[in-house]
Chains A and B, each alone.
Chain A
């Protein structure tokens, strides 16, 4: 782990910015929203993984551009809010905006190509996303959402595992440098 982190830490100037085929981010984001809606039909199994969150993390980390990351996060989050039946629009939007910004910032400083690094980053961003959601719901909706539970821990571990696989698949959308 320490070796992975040491080798993964590079200066910003040495981090490679990945390019994707045009429209790939748009299509993947759309598919992620559809898939999330599809999985949502299956209740608890569908809630295990937040696919749009994984897409935001992946493209933000890969593009390493904070502006792109936060706009992508905002767009996906707002669409996710719009597709939900009771969420006020902007709840997931704010959370994913912050995740997109942080992920692109982190991606500009760290090498995130290693699967372990991707697992850890996804695990951390999942909980950061959850904390932001909980704070927003507490402040705006006056609903007491727990910041951390065993279920959230399981969800975060599952999401991180899925992210390792998903990110490897999405790497195929990169244009060769």
Chain B
């Protein structure tokens, strides 16, 4: 380079002198359209591509560094974040469960507040029966909580079953779908009495309703109080289907309580009849207005009792003393 300069000394000098004068001119002359000195305009124009190139280069270099090279902690951070994510997911599930539990407890509380006259005991379902032929569950209330046999168990949606065995801190509850279970019941509108009997299927049947009785799907069934377990007026379910039989109709009942999703239940300590619910629950259903005068024959068949000679479970329940312990059959 120096050799080339010395060999072309005169050319280098020429270039220097001309350049100096060009710069001198550029300093004096202003650009016509922007009133900026040419030297400044040229400087900016000359430096901008370099600046843009430098910015592009360093941004790519920074991206390359942060995206490829400076990743020595990425795996550890990734593991940490996965661990945190797992913990947070677990925590989230816990909170969701707590929220659901709070919601259920709120419903129970509301139900209890709506029926302050009745003594109730909230309980949680802790397990179910190991026998597939038996529809029973276990709750976390027992003798220490003053739970006794044949106490009714309900939810705000409807009745569940009754206590059949009491242990010190837990109790076994027979669901209304168990084939050994019977509940004294009646239609809420016609007040016709019968017995809801478990069959082992999800839908129990309502028995002892004569063929003359007009039964339609969707009719509401409530407890009649004759079994001395459930107070009168608790919601049992609705009619799912009804067809004629001999001598009684075969009526399938859709339980009001979600028996397959029981978590929190209420143990009825007393048999006091519940007043109509303030929160729209299905309990304490007010007696329906008297039905229109039926024919004489129909009237006799809809007055709670089946034909003479037929002993209904409801009747047998009603005939038992209040302190009985035998399950209803």
Q: Are B32 and A74 in contact (CB under 8 A)?
A: no
A67 to B5, CA, bound (A): 13
A residues 1-32 near B (Cβ < 8 Å) are none
Which residue of A65, A66, A89 is within 8 Å of B28 (Cβ)?
A: A89
Given contacts A67-B9, A70-B10, contact A88 B17 (CB under 8 A): no
Q: Which of A92-100, A110-118, A155-163, A165-173 contacts B (4 or more CB under 8 A)?
A: A92-100
Q: Are A101 and B14 in contact (CB under 8 A)?
A: yes
The answer to whether the Cβ of B71 comes within 8 Å of any Cβ in the partner chain is no
Across the interface, which residues of B come within 8 angstroms of A77, CB to CB? 21
Number of interface residues of A (CB under 8 A): 21
Q: Are B32 and A142 in contact, CB atoms less than 8 angstroms apart?
A: yes
**Are A67 and B10 interface neighbours, CB within 8 A?**
yes
Q: With an 8 A cutoff between CB atoms, is B268 at the interface?
A: no
**CB-CB contacts below 8 Å: B8-40 with A:** 9-11, 13-14, 17-18, 21-22, 24-26, 28-29, 32, 38
Partner of A70, one of B17, B22, B24, B25: B17
A88 touches B29 (CB 8 A): yes
Interface residues on B, range: 10 to 19
Chain B residues with CB under 8 A of A142: 32
Known interface pairs A88-B28, A88-B29; A97-B38 also in contact (CB < 8 Å): no
A94, B21: Cβ atoms closer than 8 Å:
yes
Query: Which chain A residues lie closer than 8 Å to B32 at the CB level?
Result: 142
Determine the residue in chain B with the shortest Cβ distance to A143: B32
Contacts of B10 in A (CB 8 A): 65-67, 70, 101
Choose one: B9, B21, B29; the contact of A97 (CB below 8 Å): B21
A33 at the interface (CB under 8 A from B): no
Contact of A141 among B13, B24, B29 (CB under 8 A): B29
Q: How far is the CA of A66 from the CA of B7 in the complex (A)?
A: 13
Mark A72-116 against chain B: 1 for CB-CB distance below 8 A, else 0: 001001100000000011110110011001000000000000000
Kindly state the separation between the CA atoms of A142 and B26 in the bound complex, as whole angstroms.
13
A120 within 8 A of B: no
- Taking beta carbons and an 8 Å cutoff, which residues of B are in contact with A? 9-11, 13-14, 17-18, 21-22, 24-26, 28-29, 32, 38
